Structure formats: C-alpha cells, structure tokens
C-alpha cells in the first residue's frame, strides 16, 4: 500500500510542478509534503509514516529512488539488483533480500542511465556492460539485456566515508601489529608489493591502508578502471581513470594506455587498482623501470596461484616465452600479500610472501607470515597471522626504510 501511495503522490507532484531544473530542492520537498498531507487523511498513517513517504517520494526525483536509503545506510556494504523486482543487500556480512523493488523496469533503467551519465559513460544494448561510480565513491557495475536475462542488473559496492587505516585492520583481527609494522617498513623501503585475493576479500581496502605508509614527499600516480582509491596522505597525487569507447567504437582509454602515459609524468610510485589482463605486462615493466615502491592488486586463490595468473595475463597480451615472463615477474614484484574472506565472513591476511627469484625456471616464494587457524567458536574462526621464522632474503632496501622511520618518529616526538 505504501508503494502505491508513493506512485500516486509522485504523479501528482510531477503534474503540478515544473521539474525542468528551475525547481529547487526545498521547493520540491515542500510540494511533496503538501501532496502527502493532502492525500493521506487515513488515521492509520502516523506522522513518522508520512515523513518516510515524503522522503521516499523525494528520492524518486532527486535521489536513487528505492536504493537511496540503502546507499545512505553505512551498515550496508553491497547492494545487488538482479531485476527491478529483486534487490538483495549485504549488511554486517549477511546477504538478505530487500522487501521493496522498483515500480517498473523502465524506472530502474532511468536510474542506471542517470548514474552512468554522471561519470560520462554510456551503457546501452550495443554496449551492455559498464563500470561506474556514485558521487560518494561507491563502485557500480551494470549489465543490461540481452546479456542480463532477468532485466537490468546493477551491483553497488560501497566503501567507508573515511578509508580504513592499518590500525583499524589490526583492531579487526585482519593482521597483527608485527605484520603491520613489517609492511610499513616494506612500503617505506620502496618494495614492489602485489595484493592478491578473491572477490570481496578486501583488496582495495587493504591497498588504501597500505598506501597511507607512502611518504608524503613523493609523487604518486593511481590508475583504475573506476576511481575507488582514497589516498589522502600524499599531497602530490594524480588519479587517472579509464574511459570506454563511444557509440562509434572510438575514444577508448585502457589501463595499458594510462600506465604508458604515467611513465612520462615523473612518478615516484605507480598504483594500479587492479590488473585483469594484458595490462599486467605494462605494470611489470613499470616496476622494472625504476618505479620502485609500486602497488597493485589482482584476483587469485593464493600467492603461488597469483604468479600463474600473472603469467596468463601477460601471455594474453604478448606471445612471449614463459621463461621471459617469469624473469619479469621475479625481478618486478618483491612481496605478495594474499587476502581471503573466511567462512565466518571475516577478511584476513592469509599469507605474506617474498619473491626471491628463479630456480630451475620457476618463480620461488619465501613465506614470511602465514595465517594459522586454531579453532572455531560460535561460528567464528579463531586464528592468527604468525611469522614463519623465515627471514627476508632481499634486505638491501630496509636500511633506508629504517632511517626514514626513525627520522619520522623523531619528528613526531619533537612536535
């Protein structure tokens, strides 16, 4: 019944106002309030109910319609729209179906087009897949029919208003203080670090936290499909984003193009949000051309599996001998950090390994930290990221990192 009222009042307001752009938000809100209190004379509706309907109608004009409350609720981390009638949300790690939906498929399509237009992208039947973002930085993926059989599909991945720090991750049990301090030294020492993990394992969140260790006097270039990183500790920062082709199939700017362009922008470090294909070769070459301390992420089931996936990615873009690719990987990447989302929905650092080189044609890893599960209590996985006892083989960069850390600690003490 409430949704019927929303539709009816929305039509009344639309008929009575010029919504071409001259109506301010305050005027629109007052018009909706007037329509609600004029039409809803039933004693069963409380003042709170009417206020909710006013807000709901307002969102249909100036927000994301039924999605707006989910976007504003910080407890909700993912919004999954399978069709205009089928919406699921993830709240506190639990996925459940929402009790509301869009009034029609056309209304959902209108919302999708407004989101995509805000970031100057296009999605239609000829180009039915697109990545975009909301104004608050949330990541959006859209798939339209005929690719999506149920109707327009949209997935919104939300991020915290303020990026999580490494201390926050330690407090949540994602890793230990010892591992966090070790990673801090590696970032300061300009080790090339690659973060691997599955979907939803927290790669972007961890990359954000790790980037906070980058010294503030360096120049950093970030490269992403859709801008998600929130690096706020580096003043000299340039953020680059890919661009899809236009309706004529021209004007595409790929990650490979951005990586090649970034090499001419005098970066101290290059941060590639995620590598999925042939751009892996350009990323490895950037790491091998004097841009130490670069960071990136990729999908994999483990540290060794990440090596294999990188080989496959490079092969998809260049028919190079496997031996050459492995040599590139072993000389470019210093550290691989693997994340995983466990069965209790917690996100943990599972492994921190060093790439020590080639032996008999294979890339060899030296595991420095590994997650050890102790027990399971009340559905929660009990475990800890433990040092394996292995020492870092390539320590030539740690001396300078130690000097910088000592200097910064002394500055903080003086302040």
- Triad 136, 201, 112: Cα angle to 5°: 35
Residue 218 has a pLDDT of 94
The pLDDT assigned to 43 comes to: 56
Phi-psi sector, 389: left (phi>0), alpha (psi -120 to 50), beta: left
The values of phi and psi at residue 387, to 5°, are: -70, 135
Q: Phi, psi at residue 53, to the nearest 5°?
A: -70, -40
3-class DSSP state of 127: coil
Distance of alpha carbon 95 from alpha carbon 89, whole angstroms: 6
Mean pLDDT by 10 residues, the chain (415 residues): 68 67 71 73 67 76 83 90 94 87 89 89 88 87 93 91 89 94 93 94 92 93 88 92 78 89 92 91 88 93 95 91 93 96 91 94 94 86 91 80 50 49
The radius of gyration of the chain from alpha carbons, rounded to an integer in Å, stands at: 25
Closest CA to 306 of 273, 337, 271: 337
> How many helices and strands, by DSSP H and E, does the chain display?
13, 15
Q: Is 408 helix (H, G, I), strand (E, B) or coil?
A: helix
Place of tokens 């206020």: 51
DSSP code string of 231-296? --S-SSEEEEE-B---TTS---B-HHHHHHHHTTS--SEEEES---STHHHHHHHHHTTT-TT-EE
SS3 for 53? helix
According to the model, what pLDDT value does residue 221 have? 95
> The whole model's pTM is what?
0.80
Q: In whole angstroms, what is the distance from residue 305 CA to residue 86 CA? A: 35
Contact 196, 298 (CB under 8 A): yes
Instruction: Phi first, then psi: give them for residue 362, nearest 5 degrees.
Output: -115, 145
Q: Write the CA distances from 143 to 130, 132, 227, 390, integer angstroms.
A: 7, 11, 19, 46
Encoding tokens for residue 22? Answer: 């001259």
Go through the domains of the chain in sequence order and give each one's CATH number: 1-62 (no CATH), 67-159 (3.30.450.370), 166-401 (3.40.50.300)
CB atoms within 10 A of CB 292: 16
């Amino acid at each position: 019944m409430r949704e019927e009222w929303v539709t009816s009042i929305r039509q009344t307001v639309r008929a009575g106002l010029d919504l071409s752009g001259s109506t301010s938000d305050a005027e629109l809100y007052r018009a909706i309030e007037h329509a609600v209190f004029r039409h809803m004379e039933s004693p069963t509706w409380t003042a709170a109910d009417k206020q909710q309907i006013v807000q709901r109608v307002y969102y249909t004009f100036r927000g994301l319609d039924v999605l707006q409350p989910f976007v504003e609720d910080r407890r909700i981390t993912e919004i999954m729209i399978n069709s205009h009638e089928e919406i699921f949300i993830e709240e506190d790690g639990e996925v459940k179906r929402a009790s509301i939906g869009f009034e029609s498929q056309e209304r959902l399509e209108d919302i999708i087009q407004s989101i995509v237009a805000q970031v100057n992208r296009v999605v239609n039947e000829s180009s039915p897949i697109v990545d975009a973002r909301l104004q608050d930085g949330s990541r959006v993926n859209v798939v339209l029919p005929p690719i999506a059989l149920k109707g327009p599909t949209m997935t919104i991945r939300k991020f915290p208003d303020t990026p999580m720090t490494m201390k926050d991750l330690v407090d949540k049990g994602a890793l230990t203080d010892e591992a966090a301090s070790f990673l801090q030294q590696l970032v300061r020492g300009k080790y090339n670090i690659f973060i691997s993990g599955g979907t939803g394992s927290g790669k972007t969140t961890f990359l954000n936290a790790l980037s906070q260790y980058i010294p503030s006097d360096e120049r950093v270039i970030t490269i992403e499909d859709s801008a998600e990183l929130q690096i706020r500790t580096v003043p000299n920062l340039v953020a680059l984003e890919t661009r899809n082709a236009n309706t004529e199939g021209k004007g595409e700017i790929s990650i490979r193009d951005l990586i090649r362009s970034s090499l001419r922008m005098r970066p101290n470090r290059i941060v590639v949000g995620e590598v999925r294909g042939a751009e892996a070769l350009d990323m490895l070459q950037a790491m091998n051309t004097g841009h130490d301390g670069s960071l990136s992420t990729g999908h994999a089931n483990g540290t060794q599996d990440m090596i294999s996936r990188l080989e496959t990615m490079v092969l998809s873009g260049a028919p190079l001998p496997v031996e050459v690719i492995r040599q590139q990987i072993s000389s470019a990447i210093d550290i691989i950090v693997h994340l995983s989302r466990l069965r209790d929905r917690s996100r943990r650092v599972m492994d921190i390994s060093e790439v020590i080189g080639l032996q008999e044609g294979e890339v060899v890893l030296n595991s420095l930290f590994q997650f050890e599960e102790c027990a399971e209590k009340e559905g929660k996985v009990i475990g800890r990221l433990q040092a394996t006892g292995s020492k870092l083989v390539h320590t030539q960069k740690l001396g300078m990192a130690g000097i910088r850390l000592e200097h910064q600690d002394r500055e903080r003490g003086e302040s």
